[in-house]
Amino acid sequence: MSTDKTTASGDDGDVEIDAAEEQALRERIEELEESIADLEGGDDQQKMTIVATQGSFDMAYPPLILASTAAAFGWDVVVFHTFWGLDILHEEKSKKLKLSAVGNPNMPVPNAVAALPGMDTMATKMMQKRIDDNGTATIEELIDLSLESGVDLQACQMTIELMDYDEDDFYDGVTTGVGAATAIQHMAESDVQLLV
């Protein structure tokens, strides 16, 4: 003779539990244990989001160096390029980025001299020579390294349209069609958020 009820002992005496109820409780306990295990194990991968807004020669380096370094440590990295920062990912424009001499407090010349025609070109050539002499990677090499390391280099769709760029103008591997909402979502999930 089979029964559909189980008797359980408790502090208040014997309690009868329906077999279907008992099975449902066991399944729920298993689900909760799995959820706790997932939370405890978790995703240990750290996340970083960098927003690159400046497209001058000297400002192309920080987001790419930080992104490729973090990726080398196994981080999930997104660099969202918007406004002038988009030129870093533009194949043609990235090769013509200039270092601005005017308003740069670290330039060894006063602003009146820095504003003279040709000073930006001269400052850029001086910095390129230092980079070459030091064996530092070029912007193009850092873009390649970042992409190879799994960095998601994103081009802001609104800025692409604003600047009248074509999606084919960017390096292969660059993610286009990304909006601010997607960038914000990654920022919200990130351990580190930087604005460059």
Q: Is 17 left (phi over 0), alpha (psi -120 to 50) or beta?
A: beta
Q: Which has more confidence, 23 or 80?
A: 80
pLDDT value at 126 more than 70: yes
Distance in angstroms (rounded) separating the CA atoms of residues 97 and 55: 7
Question: How large a percentage of the chain has pLDDT more than 90?
Answer: 57
Contact 143, 89 (CB under 8 A): yes
pLDDT value at 195 more than 50: yes
**SS3 letters across 104-138:** CCCCCCCHHHHCCCCHHHHHHHHHHHHHHHHCCCC
- Give the pLDDT of residue 1: 47
- Give the pLDDT of residue 178: 93
Average pLDDT of the chain to the nearest whole number = 86
pTM: 0.73
CA 170 to the chain's CA centroid: 17
End-to-end CA distance of the chain: 75
Which has the closest alpha carbon to 67: 137, 172, 161, 160?
137
Confidence of residue 144 (pLDDT cuts 50, 70, 90): very high
> What residue has token string 């690159």?
52
| Mean pLDDT value of segment 156-173 | 95
